[in-house]
Amino acid sequence: MTTPTIRMYATQYCPYCVRAEQLLRRKGVTEIEKILIDDDLSRRAEMERITGRRTVPQIFIGDTHVGGCDDLYALEREGKLDTLLGLK
């Protein structure tokens, strides 16, 4: 099975971004397209327009907007993250 594309809007020094990335790495994800929005107002505006949220991280697995770090961990607790990642 192929892992879907993972895209994450993030900032360089965000502890929640680090935690989200750590969980994805533990799940075997090797490629994460990180979109840093620290100094790029157009990318920040893009994230807000697409997600309706202003906080990072904002994570997409394939075309599915997962949400932030807490949302990602909630999916893991519910046993739904593996399915979304194509591991089940």
Q: Quick check: is 15 in a domain?
A: yes
CATH of the domain at 16: 3.40.30.10
- d(CA 41, CA 6) in angstroms, rounded, equals 22
Query: Do 35 and 10 meet the contact criterion of CB atoms below 8 Å apart?
Result: yes
Do strands 33-36 and 64-67 pair parallel, antiparallel, or not at all (unpaired)? unpaired
The tens digit of pLDDT for each residue in 36-86 reads: 999 999 999 999 999 999 999 999 999 999 999 999 999 999 999 999 999
The tens digit of pLDDT for each residue in 18-44 reads: 999 999 999 999 999 999 999 999 999
3-state secondary structure of 79: coil
Q: Quick check: is 1 in a domain?
A: no
Residue 1 has pLDDT above 70, yes or no: no
Specify the pLDDT at position 16: 98
Residue 3 has pLDDT above 70, yes or no: yes
- d(CA 52, CA 67) in angstroms, rounded, equals 10
- Pick from 62, 65, 53, 68: nearest CA to 19: 68
The pTM of the full predicted model, rounded to 2 decimals, is 0.94
Domain count, the chain: 1
Q: Quick check: is 50 in a domain?
A: yes
